[in-house]
Amino acid sequence: MNQQFNVLNDAYRSLLSRTSPSKMSSHELASSMFTCVCELTPDASDGSHSQHRDQDQSRHPLTFSKYSPNPNGTELACLVLTLVEKINSKLTSQQLSQEASLYFKDVSTVLFQYMDFMSKLVHLVGCKDRLLSHLAAKSVSSYVIFELRCFNTVNQIWEWKCLQVLQNPCSGNELDACTWSLTTVLKAVLKETSEYKPGTLEQLLATFDTALTAAYSQLVPVESPGHGNSASYPSSNTTDWGTTLTNLLDLLEVLTAARFKLSTSSVCFTSSRLSLVQASALLRIVNSHVHYFVKKQVLLLLKRILLQKAGEDMGFGEVSSLTHGDEHMTSDILALADDVLQAVHTDWLQCVPVESAAIFFGGTGQLCGGSSDAFDHVMLRAVSLVVLKSLEYKIQSAGGKGIHGYLSALLLFLSQHGVQLKQGSHSCCWVSLVFGEQDDDMMEAAKALLLLYLHHRVSSDLEADAACVVGGNPHCHFLFLLRSIFFDHSILLDFLISTETCFLEYFVRYLKHLRDDWEGFRTVCQKMDGSDRCKLSWKFSQKDDQLLDNLREELQQSLCVSSGSVSTSSHSGGSVTIVDPEPAPCLPSGSATALASTPPLRLVDYGSSEESETEDGDLPSGLTQDRLHSDFVIHTHNSHSFDRTVMCLTEIRVVVTRLQRRSLFPYNATSLLKLLTQIEAKRCFSQR
């Protein structure tokens, strides 16, 4: 066995160095590899070695990863399977030199075409040893992908094995390996569709469509187990069942992503619709006796589907929107939304578990210095977006009633899991509290809440105060967003330029609402500024006064260099530093309306480049570029959100205008600039 190990080890090292082994021919290497797999004893393939290995690992956990001096048959088989997978992957990606490619292609041909190695591998897929089963599945999948890409054929042995297992699914290594293998092959085709023969993806989906649909109905019971009862699944081992469901959920996401990829086609496979039209079964998993990480995966899958981002983390690229989907797309999305809202209506949220934030995915350890009150915000964000997006789709299709009831249920759920909500308008802070660490999700939530508010206001003459009760006032959401970024316009510019969030769409919609509801925004600002209970992290405490003084001094010195003299005057309420004392008609004066706190230091200063010279023509009448900078460094403890918001919007307009004039902005911002100009005009008019 030592000789075989040396041969395999030499071949593996040669493969990694992209050369061919010099000690033996390709036929000799293939024969040695085949022998190592065929000589596995029944005990080795039925899991007894796995149990023995686990016992050894428990006794000597630090030495288990090292090669034993006398490797046994199972260890040699694992090395062969790893080598096979690497050979096929290198051949598929064409990463080898011409000599090495010819050598290892010959090895693969001898194994799979002359020695019927695929039959041996699919047999190992069903063994009880988890490691052997998984390595066999990886080897099988790599060769299937190689054949698909290089010869435009689907391996019949692999196809037969997967169909056989899916038609009679039973939780275990064989089912897990087959679903994992099918998922891997579909992912490979989806990632590089252009590298495969046209129609390859459709062919695969058509082959497994019926079997996958039948397997889903057996593994995830569609019928409700009964009112008030949690779902139960036919498995004696919860760990095994959790693995089975995890693999199934990965496969469902790939199938959904494939549907989005083929949305321009007239073909729509039943298996690709399962996660939408039978979402109620997935929702019941959350109320079942499976591991927490499985329930979390269900909600993350539903969130990505509703956001039209299925497969995004798998590198499949952009997908088509619902407006360009197949004929069933709209109705299927509505079916998913209906299932979610029906579940919320029957108190499903009260059954959704939210554990404390763990160090590892699915783990139970607490963060260093943390407490049990640090709830899993990934889960909270997923639940919130699933409910919000379902409501959004519902009102867009057939209107919606009872929006307040669903939002109230969501707020109750959040408050029960560590989200500290305030009374009145500050209930709206839940968006910042829940989504503050995830910009893309926060923008999606803000956009959905804005659409819900606008729809409800038109249909039922909704008052702003009533919206605040359920945390749905868009003015509050935008103001909390600005406070969280210190009213820094450069961060808003980053959001606008980025393609990773829907901020542009949200921003334009909100500006239209702000233009039409100017007084509503003023009222919200007054309420927030007048409340002593709304103390956000953006306000500096007294112990930070020295830091503030240092920052002011640095900013003052930098402005002296670029803008000339600096004058300092004293007002009732604090010291104010002003560059260019010329008054501006559209800006407030005095400490009562001065801008508070120092803006954060920026990673990119959009006004410091040579092409960013002063252009007073970009500013409203009476507002010079120096004056714009001066008001940005006014410091008192009396902050007014209204004035700071207008200043932030003015600054973003100035920068976007400058970038657009130089053709440096990534899209046509004419409509955006028009809205920002209208906002400034309203501010100037209200000052008269």
pLDDT in tens, 186-197: 999 999 888 888
Residue 644 has pLDDT above 50, yes or no: yes
Supply the pLDDT for residue 470. 87
355-402 pLDDT, tens per residue? 886 555 555 555 554 444 578 999 999 999 999 999 999 998 766 677
Residue 592 has pLDDT above 90, yes or no: no
More confident residue, 590 or 430: 430
End-to-end CA distance of the chain: 93
Supply the pLDDT for residue 50. 44
Supply the pLDDT for residue 457. 83
Supply the pLDDT for residue 565. 38
CA distance 110 to 106: 6
CA distance 89 to 185: 12
pTM exceeding 0.75: yes
Supply the pLDDT for residue 319. 57
How does the average pLDDT of the chain come out, rounded? 78
Residue 145 has pLDDT above 90, yes or no: yes
Token pair for 167: 């038609």
Q: What is the dihedral of CA 286, 288, 290, 294, to 10 degrees?
A: -20
3-state secondary structure at position 566: strand
Distance of CA 137 to the CA centre of its chain: 28
Contact 241, 290 (CB under 8 A): yes
Supply the pLDDT for residue 567. 37
490-520 pLDDT, tens per residue? 999 999 999 889 999 999 999 999 999 999 9
CA distance 187 to 179: 12
Token pair for 200: 């390859």
Burial degree of 589 (CB within 10 A; 0-12, 13-18, 19+): middle
How far, CA to CA in Å, does 162 sit from each of 112, 133, 311? 18, 14, 22
Nearest Cα to Cα of residue 349 among 400, 395, 412: 412
Supply the pLDDT for residue 437. 86
Distance of CA 588 to the CA centre of its chain: 42
3-state secondary structure at position 380: helix
Contact 635, 597 (CB under 8 A): yes
Residue 302 has pLDDT above 70, yes or no: yes
Supply the pLDDT for residue 456. 84
CA distance 669 to 497: 11
Please write down the HEC assignment for all residues of 149-190: HHHCCCCHHHHHHHHHHHHCCCCCHHHHHHHHHHHHHHHHHH
299's enclosing H/E stretch is helix 292-306
Token pair for 290: 């499976």
CA distance 340 to 284: 11
Residue 557 has pLDDT above 80, yes or no: no
Supply the pLDDT for residue 288. 87
Residue 229 has pLDDT above 90, yes or no: no
CA distance 481 to 492: 10
CB atoms inside a 10 Å sphere around CB 467: 26
CA distance 24 to 27: 8
Q: Which of 226-235, 323-332, 394-403, 473-482 has the highest mean pLDDT?
A: 473-482
